[in-house]
Amino acid sequence: MRVPIILFCALSAFLNIAHTKPLLINSPDWRPYFTYDDTATGYAKELLKYLLEDNGYSYRFVPLPIKRGNQYIKTGKLDVSVLSYRPERAQFVSYADFPLFTVSLRFISRPEHAKIRHVDDISPLRFEFVRGVSYTQEIREKANVLERDVYTSVTLEHALKKIMANRSDITVASTHTLISELKALGYPKTLTIGAYVVQEKAYYITVSKRSETITDPSVFFSKMQSSLNKARQTGVIDQLSAEYQLMLDDVTP
């Protein structure tokens, strides 16, 4: 009888290790939602910490550029990422059926191009793409039709500096991300956030379909949604929104 007992103990130990294996979570440099620096974690990062710890999950945030993070979640090197919905992404991640948060997208440019009223207005301008960032189909169709690869930056900060130097004209990002970037750059007078809201965009918790740690995403999402409702009821979300100034939508410094 010793052999079956030993096998049972070994199997129990393996299952326990698998259960306690930390989730690897994408943490791009995306202020004010995520940051590489754990001393200033970001709204989404702190909210995820709350949701995970409320359910007893161990986890580790992995700082990665947006494009590389997308590649890692696709191949299963990451377990969890926060992404906007795109049909092609649904091939390699499972989406929660509730948003974690929503952002408003706005253009940013030098002041002479700030009065954009429609996406069509960007056609004559040099639009700066940032690698790994998801853009609306309309923007992809209207921006730099003949020279799309010419105006591309690795980070939003780099894109803004190119616009300031007149090496590009305009780009787009979430309102509060732009406010954070302008603050970091010292509120340069050569950059202006437009009043026109391009799109309201939802972001979701996603799980890699190749994750070996989360074998049933539906159970994981159910736990996250329950804790998210708890965060609303107990004021955690209001507290984090105030801390990261997400309740403010004033685009002027």
Question: Is residue 62 in a domain?
Answer: yes
Note whether 32 and 90 are same-domain residues. yes
Residue-level pLDDT, tens digit, the chain, 253 residues: 444 555 444 544 444 444 478 999 999 989 999 988 766 689 999 999 999 999 999 999 999 988 899 999 999 999 999 999 999 999 999 999 999 999 999 999 999 999 999 999 999 999 999 987 888 889 988 998 667 567 889 889 999 999 999 999 999 999 999 999 999 999 999 999 999 999 999 999 999 999 999 999 999 999 999 999 999 999 999 999 999 988 755 555 4
pLDDT value at position 148? 59
CA 116 from centre of chain = 25
* Segments forming the whole domain that contains residue 147: 103-200
The pLDDT of residue 248 is 56
The reply to whether 95 and 168 lie within a common domain is no
Side-chain half-sphere CA neighbours of 163 within 13 A: 34
Domain count, the chain: 2
d(CA 47, CA 54) in angstroms, rounded, equals 11
Are residues 77 and 143 both part of a single domain? no
In a shared domain, residues 98 and 219: yes
Q: Give this prediction's pTM.
A: 0.83
Distance CA 16, CA 22 (A): 12
Q: Which residues contact 9 (CB under 8 A, 6 or more apart)?
A: none
Considering the domain architecture, whether residues 207 and 172 belong to the same structural domain is answered as no
CATH of the domain at 161: 3.40.190.10
What's the confidence (pLDDT) of residue 177? 95
Give a yes or no: residue 32 inside a domain: yes
Q: How far is CA 253 from CA 36, 58, 164, 175, in A?
A: 24, 39, 17, 12
Residue 134, pLDDT score: 81
